[in-house]
Structure 1
Amino acid sequence: MVAQKKQLDLFDDDSSHSTDLPLSTVGKMLQLSPQKFIKALADRKMIFKRKSSQAWEAYQTFIAKGLFRHYTYMGNTPIFN
């Protein structure tokens, strides 16, 4: 029962914590391997990789809809883009 409570808390609308999750974590929550989940998003043209970068990026249309957020890190501190 405690495990279920923790999972439900991820979707709680409490603004005191962030519900932003890495793509790999979302894949795991959906019981998919992170690679399969990320490949499915890329196949559907929701995310892409620049040749000069190893990070996945979402297309601007999906960011504008609020489905994705980009983060840039300075050390361990995320800077929201």
Structure 2
Amino acid sequence: MVKSVHSERQKLIATTLAEQRRAKGISQAELAKAFGRHQPFIANIESGERRVDLVELLTIADAIELDIHALIERLRTLPR
């Protein structure tokens, strides 16, 4: 089994978060501050170095106005 931190699903989460954040014109530092964290926290998620848990994902998705349901549907199309 592929380690989930490097799975296609995890890569999709990381790239989707980064793309949506940039599309909204929000810097990693701004997002991190709103989240009560430092910029490397967001950078590590977006680079795939750190997994994001469900609560973090929902919080970030709300901050960047990401449709979490659409992301989940895209994740379901990828191999486990």
> Which structure's residues are more often strand, by fraction?
1
> Which structure's residues are more often helix, by fraction?
2
Structures share fold, TM-score greater than 0.5: no
TM-score, with normalisation over the residues of structure 2?
A: 0.30
The one of the two structures with greater contact order (alpha-carbon pairs below 8 A, sep at least 6) is 2
